[in-house]
A and B are shown apart, each in its own frame.
Chain A
């Protein structure tokens, strides 16, 4: 015990000018996350390594159900002056958190006050952009980031006489492939997980079309949905037609569609790149049967495709509650934990273990140097796709920042579901989404104006 403390003090002294001398024992940092197994265990292992690596702070990880449950729990706890120090928030909650004022401690502020530095220039632009203000100041700490890509079942492709090494690149080819798969007896030629993220948000981004005004909401709270545009009308029509001819099947909300691909029923799926670990483990035929490709696009849209956007989650530092903030020691501990997860070796290991993105260039290069991508063909597809296009992000491809986005996503899913049930056409579904979604945006604007 004594030796460990001495050691810790020594490290503290060399690493930073030991500010923690006065305090007894490590600072406890409550960390709430929303990752189920096996990802949650891997994440908690990282927190464990951080605890081992120093003796000033101890991260206490706890799993709070899925992302939405974690968000709700953290907000309720904040109102009760018992918010966790760090909460993992999915990208959809970003708009809500950014408008949360005193509830959060913006990352740039935290780092400035504690003097801890993290080199954000090394982060992939798509990742950095999603969690920063318009002027580039970081608001939250990026961690598990993914993007949507296409996975396909190589066996199914072979059975249908398709080339298992060449996935469809555009929607015309998608539709043909789906018809061939269908004819070859594949029950579900194409399905999707996270339907609004993959089919609305990502498709809009890669075609450089805004889903909401003011650069997808980055420009202010008075943004309005712009879903009812020719591209989305065309894409919804494609999906509905594919649905009618048996080429596309709705896999359910959120990540439910993953299951249909994992058990071999579906030939192609649009899913989070983070689903790779699961598919490798569960897909009949394993990794040899798993194909990965970039998202298809409409090749007659000029300029398309450009980079896709990210999903996943980031870590937010929260204040304790309406009545109070954090001590200097607590803030320092939070900042140091963030600096720990920014280390290239941590980011690289998380990437190779899970299929989430290597969020920094250094991590990406380090993984490439190990030969990981030659041994695991397709594992670098998400990064390539994020860098597709001119290399500079546009207002449509930086990300999405809408208040009440959780609710808006639900609305879009509901309208898609109704369209796929045959209750309404493509244009009606989009018009309804816009109309109902704008109500949410206006409510959010009114409650968060001051």
Chain B
């Protein structure tokens, strides 16, 4: 920690002011609103409202379709995180080798970081649309009735693939940085001990990467919970049926399309609690890193 400081009280507060004002107005106010609104039942036009206590929460938690959405979100997020992490790790290990053109490969694997999730969805739509997509038509020609607008499983697969695809490069960047920070001498020592490459990876490299992997797991889960809204909204709108409706998508449909503000607010509060839990886990990790 710093030992020498400037004096003054007004100036530091002045410097903090913009950040604090924006945080207050756009963070604490809405968060408080969400909590307050989750206890109300209000009509769409805001003309009448009534305090209903925990009724909105009880309704949400007793709604089988909400519980379904929670389960679905879990499956979806784990699938996205696993796919994105595994393929990124694999590619990072390949790209970390001393081969010709390594830098070109890196650039070509990093650029998808710039692609917006919603745009990734659009690119995948171009490939898998049953009528205009190259793979969509191929599948149909092969006798597989491919139509993600009708088949829930296919819709889920497509949404998972598009979401994971977009996230690989982010993970790749971190895994590569992690791999490069592993001292070569450690690996060479293992090699001299006669460990086969695969074994060497799991016994030496991977444990050294595990902090990175853990950090990325949390980031990927948060990504799958929230940032994939764009993917789902532009590909399936949560359908067919409810087969691609995740919790954040549900907040949107209930709050914006169905104008059911109390229920939507209650769902937001539940999500906030969930994210705070996740962040505390991540925070403990961040703290450890900071103090090392």
- Interface residues, chain A, CB within 8 Å of chain B? 68, 72, 75, 78-79, 96, 99-103, 249-250, 252-253, 256, 263, 265, 322, 404, 406-407, 410, 413-415, 417-418, 420-421, 423, 436, 440, 443, 446-448, 450
Contacts and interface: CB of A to CB of B under 8 A. Distances in A.
Contacts of A253: 237, 239
A101 B48 CA distance: 10
B257 A436 contact: no
Contacts of B149: 250, 252, 256
A402 to B, nearest CB: 13
Chain B interface, DSSP helix/strand/loop, else mixed = loop
A302 B259 CA distance: 40
A22 B151 CA distance: 63
Nearest to B44: A75
Pick the 8 closest A-B CB pairs, nearest first. A417-B240, A407-B258, A103-B45, A418-B241, A79-B46, A447-B43, A417-B241, A252-B149
A436 B65 contact: yes
Which has the most chain A C-beta neighbours within 10 Å: B239, B240, B256?
A: B240
B240 A78 contact: no
Interface in B232-263: 237, 239-242, 253, 256-260
Interface in B256-285: 256-260
A252 B44 CA distance: 28
Contact of B260 (A103, A417, A443): A443
A421 B260 contact: no
A423 B260 CA distance: 28
Contacts of B131: 263, 265
Contacts of A436: 65
Interface of B: 41-48, 50, 65, 131, 149-152, 237, 239-242, 253, 256-260
Given A72-B257, A450-B48, A421 B240 contact: yes
Given A78-B45, A417-B152, 19 more contacts: A68-B257, A72-B257, A100-B43, A101-B47, A250-B150, A252-B149, A322-B46, A404-B260, A406-B258, A407-B260, A410-B258, A413-B239, A414-B240, A417-B239, A417-B241, A418-B240, A447-B42, A447-B43, A450-B48
Contacts, number: 83
Contacts of B258: 404, 406-407, 410, 440
Chain A interface, DSSP helix/strand/loop, else mixed = helix
Contacts of A447: 41-43, 48, 50
A250 B150 CA distance: 7
A108 to B, nearest CB: 20
B220 to A, nearest CB: 29
Contact of B44 (A96, A420, A421): A96
Given A101-B47, A404-B258, A447-B48, A414 B239 contact: yes
A72 B260 contact: no
Contacts of A103: 45, 47
Nearest to B48: A450
Contacts of B260: 404, 407, 443
A246 B24 CA distance: 58
30 contacts: A72-B256, A75-B44, A75-B45, A79-B46, A100-B44, A100-B45, A100-B47, A101-B45, A102-B45, A103-B47, A250-B240, A252-B150, A253-B237, A253-B239, A263-B131, A265-B131, A404-B260, A406-B258, A410-B253, A410-B257, A410-B258, A414-B240, A417-B150, A418-B241, A423-B241, A443-B41, A443-B260, A446-B41, A447-B50, A450-B48
Which has the most chain A C-beta neighbours within 10 Å: B45, B46, B47, B258?
A: B45
A167 to B, nearest CB: 25
Contact of A414 (B41, B46, B242, B257): B242
A199 to B, nearest CB: 15
